Homo-oligomer: A and B are copies of this chain.
Amino acid sequence: MGRPREHGPEVRAQLLRAAARLLNDEGPAALSVRRLSAEAEVSSRAVYSLFGDMPGLLAELCRRESETMVRRHEAVPRQANAVAEIQALALAYRQAALEYPDLYRLMFDRVVPVSSPSDPDVAYAMRSMARVEDAVTRALRQRRRRRDPHQVTLQLWAVVHGLASLELRGALGDPATAEASWRDTVAAVTAGLFAERRARIA
């Protein structure tokens, strides 16, 4: 019994749409409960009914960003040359980061406090990594190298995140130069990680 619920899925969608729009149009500083609810033309209470609190709403935004990350990764075709596939995956990562820069920063730089992701969210976000780890495993086998695929995947993640972080800060120059840096860095690190035979230099 009780009053019927009005803060339904459509209100939820309105809020998320308004949040994405505000984030991309006016930056992270514009993301506030009052501004958001005014934009979506609902009461501020709706945020708390639907998402618990503001970090909860932002976490949902992050979850959606990780979905596009997963989509971009899974759109990369599998290749016989696993190392080349890894390089393509790195560029997919770059595309996802560039598509919604503020959303990417929201995920990683914690510009705004985001509630710690719950376990299923983490599991979902790891799907991008799983896609990479698969390619890493094949690359290691192809190049006859014994390494922990998970460790190697983390290392690659560090590299692409570092590149994305610097590029979004404008430190990599114009997009063309930045892409060249991406390609070159990823080529170098994969060359080092998956070099056939000979031990790496000191």
Please choose the segment from A15-23, A53-61, A165-173 that sits at the chain B interface, where 4 or more of its residues have CB less than 8 A away: A165-173
* Any B CB within 8 A of the CB of A81: yes
A171 to B83, CA, bound (A): 23
* Choice from B151, B161, B163, B191 contacting A200 with Cβ under 8 Å: B191
A162 to B113, CA, bound (A): 20
Number of interface residues, chain A, beta carbon within 8 A: 40
- For A162, A172, A184, the residue with the greatest tally of chain B CB atoms inside 10 Å of its CB is A162
> How many copies of this chain sit in the oligomeric assembly?
2
- What residues of B have a CB within 8 angstroms of the CB of A52 in the complex? none
* Choice from B111, B162, B194 contacting A163 with Cβ under 8 Å: B162
Check if A161 sits within 8 Å of B155, measured CB to CB: no
- Nearest B residue (CB) for A84: B202
A80 to chain B, nearest CB (A): 12
* Choice from B111, B184, B194 contacting A155 with Cβ under 8 Å: B184
Check if A81 sits within 8 Å of B188, measured CB to CB: no
- For A163, A171, A181, A189, the residue with the greatest tally of chain B CB atoms inside 10 Å of its CB is A189
Residues of A within 8 A of B (CB): 29, 81, 83-84, 105, 108-111, 113, 151, 154-155, 157-163, 165-166, 171-172, 177, 181, 184-185, 187-195, 200-202
Q: List 10 A-B contacts (CB under 8 A).
A: A29-B113, A109-B110, A151-B181, A158-B159, A159-B185, A159-B189, A187-B192, A187-B200, A191-B201, A194-B201
